[in-house]
Amino acid sequence: MSGPRRRVTQQDIARMAGVSQTTVSVVLNGRSDSDIRIAPDTRDKVLRAIAATGYVADPVARRLAARHNRIIGVFSYEPVFPAANGDFYQPFLVGIEQRAESIGCDLLLLTSTPVVDGRRRIFHPDNRLRLADGCILLGRSLDPEELAKLVADGLPFVSIGRRDDAGGPVPYVGADYVSATAALVDRAVELGHRRLAYLGHGGGAESWADRYLGFVTACARAGAQAVHLAPPIPDGSSTGAAGTRGVVARQVVGDVAAALDAVLGQGITAVIAEEHADGVALFQLARQLRAGISVVTLGEPTRAAQPTDVEFSGLHIPRQEMGAQAVVVLTALIEGQSVAAQRLLTCDVVPGATLTSPMPDAAPRDARTSGRP
Amino acid sequence: MSGPRRRVTQQDIARMAGVSQTTVSVVLNGRSDSDIRIAPDTRDKVLRAIAATGYVADPVARRLAARHNRIIGVFSYEPVFPAANGDFYQPFLVGIEQRAESIGCDLLLLTSTPVVDGRRRIFHPDNRLRLADGCILLGRSLDPEELAKLVADGLPFVSIGRRDDAGGPVPYVGADYVSATAALVDRAVELGHRRLAYLGHGGGAESWADRYLGFVTACARAGAQAVHLAPPIPDGSSTGAAGTRGVVARQVVGDVAAALDAVLGQGITAVIAEEHADGVALFQLARQLRAGISVVTLGEPTRAAQPTDVEFSGLHIPRQEMGAQAVVVLTALIEGQSVAAQRLLTCDVVPGATLTSPMPDAAPRDARTSGRP
DNA sequence: GGGTCGAACTAATACGCATTAGCACCGCAA
DNA sequence: TTGCGGTGCTAATGCGTATTAGTTCGACCC
């Protein structure tokens, strides 16, 4: 009909109320602090007009003029919603959403970031980060280079998940995988396990490196033997927890079956799986073969896992709380308050049913294997 | 460390290149189409300055000048994230997110809408709908009154799911439940079913009414007997597919057990269940009792269903595509283009394993029941 | 030698809001 | 009557960009 309808502006409200645009702005922002006074009935007139039209200040204009608009951007490398990653991100969003609501901020999903070279890029000619007052970064791995730019750029942001420094300290709200993984290893050792394996990359993303670090440290401390069963291609970067790499026997395994071979062949009695899905697959395969190994999975599924009725031993990532804390840190940063901008939240240990005392026949197996070559 | 470093602007570039801000803008936007010409070496000077400073246009100012912010609001009555509704909404969001990304729009989650009288309200004193250029409405039932306000208001919006007119045509992207349900009924009749039941409200929300309409129409056309097994309280509004109500024998059933009683008592051989969860429950109960009835469920679960290994016959709602189409329609509306703003997408029929030929003992059962009173 | 025309720009303005500076009015003291 | 401090408001300006409406300058024509 009439093309794109013009949106209601403060001018319109001003005309309706018979006042100036300035007055409307002042009323809206409740500027009681300054030297500007508005008579109660003038204020009422304005508020009535606003209520009648449902007027809301244009966030874009607001941000241009005032440099803030009470909008929090959420940026992620991976798409947030797809079930491809097993709803892994959902709890973060719930936490973010709840806290954002409670402090009266809206959430803007920065979906418009184009994919270049197979991943979304923050920086490109039309980057929209600045539409929001600040933003929360979601996703397993963030390009360190982009992170550095972001730090340099000065736009407030918080990463969900610990990040190494990138041209400056990176604000984050992460999970303390080091301690949690170590606690799980300790528990395994308590139960009698002496040869443990870590199944996964153990490096690349910080979250993986941290898990691996916890594993290695705890094994060393407890005097347990540690083996690292790594997938063929460590997903791009291969360094990870550099200091510890090499101390531990490392073996590349092509798939879960190969991993199980390695486990059984070397008399390993407990496997700490980086990815839930791998742990599940390994456990089920072992069960089919009637091999009694313990399996611990380090976190909720990020890939679809085979359905199972077993409750896995492992750790619980406080995702919702992480989301909430990220909002807290971000708003503090936006307002220039000084806060602890790097936070690690404790992961609960899930006892589960898959971490038990080693089977009595584990030792013989070990012996046999040792004598094999 | 000089606080918020002033950003480089087109002015700065202009000064560096010894041209006007307009020229910079023109060069940036490559406006070769218009009547504005820029000499190659002028263009070069500007581009060099841009490259030297790493200038990027401020997206905020850009959008202010463009008079729309490329933000799409997503509003839902029911909570979208929580798994309470079995992730029913997720696929819609996936579709929305993907399409929004591909056309360069961001998503504003309007989740902070207060709950009044047990449901979220669009219109309330502090509604933020207008933050976005337009919005997508998600949720089973939308208050017709609010819908009417929205239509009258002129703010571009699209409903996911068909909606009756409300003070004007309501733009929507829905699923063609009428045809899909009819197709399922036809198939049942083909297989030999002669007495069919519809289990569910059959009214209230349009999506229910449509399913019911398809059921009744197809039964009538095929000469099959139709029974409506309705839950005790039809969830607020009770009218629904008004024209057809009353033609069909209607019976109120308290729960699934009661429904099964009615089915068996009346020699019904196939049940079309509005809700997946009800269909599953009914089928499992019937199986326990060794009663061989066919069950069709009309759509993915919106409530948690008992886990099952049976693939149910029924229909598949193209949720992701619906989300994507909603974005398409919305952007067209925002830009004032004329489009088909009411779209019904075809539902695929899922053959499944629960719609089979009627068991031979169905007729005798019927006879027995008839003679009972 | 005035007029036309096109190429290559620029000045001015709009976008919607927040903010700064300042104006008009009123009551009261001098 | 002037002066003066409030009170209650508005005009004007700026944020950084896109766009519209010119302006300048030379070439070319009659």
In the sheet that B195-199 helps form, which strands lie side by side, from edge to edge? B249-252, B225-230, B195-199, B270-273, B294-297, B313-316, B348-350
| pLDDT for res A118 | 64
Q: Which residue type does B78 have?
A: E
User: How far is A358 from B346, CA to CA, in rounded Å?
Assistant: 55
Contacts of A112 in chain B (CB under 8 A): 70, 100-101, 104-106
CB distance A110–B110 less than 8 Å? no
Residues 313-372 of B with CB under 8 A from A: 334-336
Span A277-282, average pLDDT = 95
Let me know the angle formed at the C-alpha of B347 by B247 and B71, rounded to the nearest 5 degrees. Answer: 115
Long-range contacts of B138-144 (CB under 8 A, 24+ apart): B138/B74, B138/B75, B138/B76, B138/B77, B138/B78, B138/B80, B138/B89, B138/B92, B139/B76, B139/B77, B139/B78, B140/B77, B140/B78, B140/B205, B140/B207, B140/B302, B141/B77, B141/B204, B141/B205, B141/B236, B142/B77, B143/B119
Whether B353 contacts B287, CB under 8 Å: no
Q: Is residue A34 over pLDDT 80?
A: no
Core vs surface per residue B181-211: b (16+ CB within 10 A) or e: bbbbbbbbbeeebbbbbbbbbbbbbbbbbbb
| Closest to A252 measured CA to CA, from A271, A230, A274 | A230
CB atoms within 10 A of CB A280: 24
Name the residue with tokens 């005392």. A357
The per-residue pLDDT of chain A, averaged, comes to: 86
Banded model confidence at residue B16, pLDDT cuts 50, 70, 90: very high
Nearest-Cα residue of chain A relative to residue B101: A112
Pairing of strands B294-297, A348-350: unpaired
User: A59-68, A170-179, B119-128 — which one is most confidently predicted on average?
Assistant: A170-179
| pLDDT tens digits, one per residue of B23-56 | 999 999 887 665 778 889 999 999 999 999 989 8
Shortest CA–C1' contact from A66: which nucleotide?
Answer: C18
- Measured distance CA(A218)–CA(A181) in Å, rounded: 8
Max CA distance (Å), chain A: 95
Q: Decide: CB of A11 under 7 A of nucleic strand D.
A: no
pLDDT at B372: 40
Output phi, psi for A225, to 5 deg.
-85, 135
User: Residue B61's pLDDT is what?
Assistant: 94
Task: Quickly count: other Cβ atoms within 10 Å of residue A304's Cβ.
Answer: 14
Q: Give CA–CA dist A283/A260, Å, rounded.
A: 9
A57 beta carbon < 7 A from strand C?
yes
B65 CA: nearest nucleotide by C1': C15
pLDDT digits 0-9 by tens, A226-249: 999 999 875 444 444 444 555 789
Q: Decide: B131 and A106 in contact? Cβ < 8 Å.
A: yes
Mean pLDDT for A160-172 is: 94
A9-29 pLDDT, tens digit each: 999 999 999 999 999 999 998
Quick check: A94 contacting B, CB < 8 Å?
yes
Nearest to A125 among B56, B63, B131 (CB): B56
Contact B19, B45 (CB under 8 A): yes
A102 CA to centre of own chain? 21
Mean pLDDT of B107-136: 75
CB B254 within 8 A of CB B232: yes
Number of CB atoms found within 10 A of residue B25's CB? 17
> From B113, which residue of chain A is nearest by alpha-carbon distance?
A101
- Angle separating helix axes B177-190 and B206-222, nearest 10 degrees: 30
Strand C, nucleotides < 7 Å from a protein CB: these are: 7-12, 14-22
Which residue's alpha carbon is at the shortest distance from the C1' of D7? A37
pLDDT per residue over B277-319, tens digit each? 999 999 999 999 999 999 999 998 888 788 888 999 999 999 9
Report CB contact under 8 Å: B57, A83: no
Other beta carbons within 10 angstroms of residue A241's beta carbon come to 21
Please tell me whether any atom of strand D lies within 7 Å of the Cβ of A37.
yes
Which residue in A13, A58, A60 has the most chain B C-beta atoms within 10 A of its own C-beta, making it the best mutation to test that interface? A60
Q: Which residue of A has its CA nearest to B51?
A: A125
Residue of chain A nearest B7, judged by CA positions: A153
Name the residue closest to the C1' of C10 by its CA: B20
**Is the pTM of the predicted complex or chain greater than 0.85?**
yes
> What is the residue whose two structure tokens read 């007729």?
B363
Interface of A with B in 209-268 (CB under 8 A): none
**Which residues from chain A sit within 8 angstroms of residue B90, using beta carbons?**
81, 83, 87
Chain A CB within 8 Å of residue B158 CB? no
